A = this chain, B = another copy of it.
């Protein structure tokens, strides 16, 4: 997505390409971010799958583990999940006894969510495996470069976020 296309009709000639990608797409930030995310997540997904959990569920459970009880909006925000998705996910997670839900007595609109002891056990199983994978990635890529990359990602995020 999201770079100028040249006016050529019928695709680019090979000499305009590098690394097998046309120049328009090769250095597109949105695509580079998507590619990187896919690549990184491919290291973690099989491990999560072995624990019968998906990426989004892991984010939700983790955030509740880290913050404690949260209302739905705050949780959706932190777990980077949209509210309607969260509503559905909570139903599933309640059925599998990983999340509990109660009404806020002060503000009746709010749903307060927290994790069960079973979910804490799950976190305790997954966390070390996750840390291991992360560490291997950090070793291969370089801890220093990782820090730099995280800094730049934070920077580009805030450039886009506020305006």
Residue numbers of A with Cβ under 8 A of B are 1-5, 7, 9-12, 21-22, 24-25, 27-44, 55, 58-59, 62-63, 65-68, 78, 80, 120, 123-124, 127-128, 130-131, 133-134, 137, 140-141, 145-150, 152-161
* B153:A36 contact, CB within 8 angstroms: yes
Q: Copy number in this complex? A: 2
Residues of B with C-beta under 8 A to A4? 127-128, 130-131, 134
A66-B25, A68-B11 given; A80·B31 CB < 8 A = yes
25 contacts between A and B (CB under 8 A): A1-B44, A1-B55, A1-B62, A2-B134, A4-B131, A5-B65, A5-B127, A9-B120, A22-B66, A29-B146, A29-B149, A32-B149, A32-B153, A33-B37, A33-B153, A34-B80, A35-B153, A36-B153, A37-B37, A39-B160, A137-B159, A141-B156, A141-B159, A145-B152, A145-B155
